[in-house]
Amino acid sequence: MPFSKESCSFSVIVPAHNSADMLARCLDGLVSDADQDCEIIVVDDASVDETGTVATRTNVKVLKLKENVGPGPARNYGAQHSSGKILLFVDADVVIAPGSLKKAVESLLANPSISAVFGSYDAQPGEPDTVSQYRNLLHHFVHQTAAAEASHFWAGLGAIRRSAFFDVGGFDESRFARAVEDVELGYRLRETGYAIRLNKELQCKHLKKWSLASMFRTDVRVRAIPWVHLMLKYNSLPSDFSLGWSQRLSLVAVWFAMGSLVLGMVQPQLLIGTALSVAVFLFLNRSFFAFLFRSRGIAFLTRCIPLHFLYYVNSGVGLLLGVAGYSWERLGINTTIRFRGTRKGKPKP
Low-confidence ranges of the chain (pLDDT < 70): 1-8, 36, 239-242, 332-349
Q: What is residue 328's predicted lDDT score, i.e. its pLDDT?
A: 85
Looking at residue 341, what is its pLDDT? 37
- Residue type (1 letter), 262: V
What confidence score (pLDDT) does residue 340 get? 38
Please name each of the domains of the chain with its CATH number.
Answer: 6-209 (3.90.550.10)
Closest CA to 45 of 82, 13, 12: 13
pLDDT for the residue numbered 177: 86
Contacts of 222 (CB under 8 A, 6+ apart): 178, 179, 180
C-alpha to C-alpha distance for 77 and 62, rounded to whole angstroms: 11
* Angle at the Cα of 160 from the Cα atoms of 117 and 27, rounded to 5 degrees: 90
Measuring CA to CA, which residue among 137, 145, 99 is closest to residue 121?
137
Q: What pTM does this model have? A: 0.89
Contacts of range 65-70, beta carbons closer than 8 Å, 24 or more positions apart: 68/17, 69/45, 69/173, 69/177, 70/45, 70/177, 70/178, 70/181
Q: How far, in whole angstroms, is CA 251 from its chain's centroid?
A: 20
What's the start-to-end Cα distance of the chain, in Å?
28
Q: Note the pLDDT of residue 7.
A: 39
Residue type present at position 333: I
Beta bridge partners of 159: 88, 117
Predicted pLDDT at 344: 38
| pLDDT of 235 | 78
Residue 176 · residue 226 · CB < 8 Å: yes
Q: Any bridge partners for residue 120, and if so which?
A: 203
Order the strands of the 10-16 sheet from edge to edge. 61-64, 39-44, 10-16, 86-90, 157-161, 114-121, 195-206, 94-96
Residues present in the chain in total: 349
The string of DSSP codes covering 150-170 is -SS--SSEEEEEHHHHHHTTS
DSSP letter at 83? Answer: -
How much is the pLDDT for 348? 58
